[in-house]
Amino acid sequence: MARPRARRGSPLYMTPALELLFHSYPLVKKNLSIFSLLYFFPLVVGLSNGFWVVDLERHLTPDALDAANAVGNPMLPAYSYGRLTLMFIVAITIATVAKIMLHSAELRAAEDKRIKPLPLWRLVKTRWQQFLGLYIVSSAIISVWLIPAYLDRHMWLELICFIPALYFLRKYFLAPYVLLDNPEMNFWQAMSRSSEMTGKDPRSIYSMIGVMLIFALFGIIPFIGWIFAFGLLFFYSAAPAIRYRELKRLT
């Protein structure tokens, strides 16, 4: 059963999801250089994807399609696959390191602590196995429900598959902050604790996910819309950590 909504000013009060933007904005702005550095990689990837799509639409020809289809050709030189694999591994490594540092920066910002790059890097060096396990296992549990929709793309099937995926996303939404707060825990324990915490007030997490999806929808507008969506999500960065601290008071 969902927890009754407390009055504003109560220690049990949950800030409305959209209002969290105005709590997160000054915290991110206060640590703008750190957050900008941590968001640099996803910004570059997003922009490069945007330019690739524009270029593809402008230059797609029958010859280009034939060249694209050659990727699956067994005669393609082996070094091409090796290069792609290496690029993928490097990209995943950078993304994982940035994600660990970002979660730590978000929690420290929500606690109104000063954020320095060196402690963030030390965290990666000492605890990367815990976080990598968390990211892999939680992502797999959430994504496995979307496989049928990916294989058979019907609207009704996508909606049905989205429901359990959203449910598990809610359960494990706060797991990175639990793991940061409890170094003695393994990632399974952090996921269990996150499930327990978010179960106290599921609406507070679902509403945040909804706000983030709405922000992301601005990305449908070519280029300018994507920049606007990126900016909103950038300044919303500390919101999940703020929500974690609010729910932590209930347990």
DSSP 5-39: PPPTTSTTPPPPTTTHHHHHHHHHHHTHHHHHHHT
pLDDT at position 68 is 44
Q: Which of 180, 207, 178 is nearest to 191 (CA)?
A: 178
Q: Which residues of the chain have a pLDDT value below 70? A: 1-12, 45-81
pLDDT at position 88 is 80
**Is the CB of residue 208 less than 8 Å from the CB of residue 17?**
yes
- Angle made by CA atoms 35, 37, 39, in degrees to the nearest 5: 65
d(CA 215, CA 203): 18
Q: Which residues, in sequence order, are CB contacts of 212 under 8 Å at separation 6+?
A: 233, 236
Secondary structure class of 249 (helix, strand, coil): coil
pLDDT at position 60 is 43
Phi, psi at 61, each rounded to 5°: -135, 165
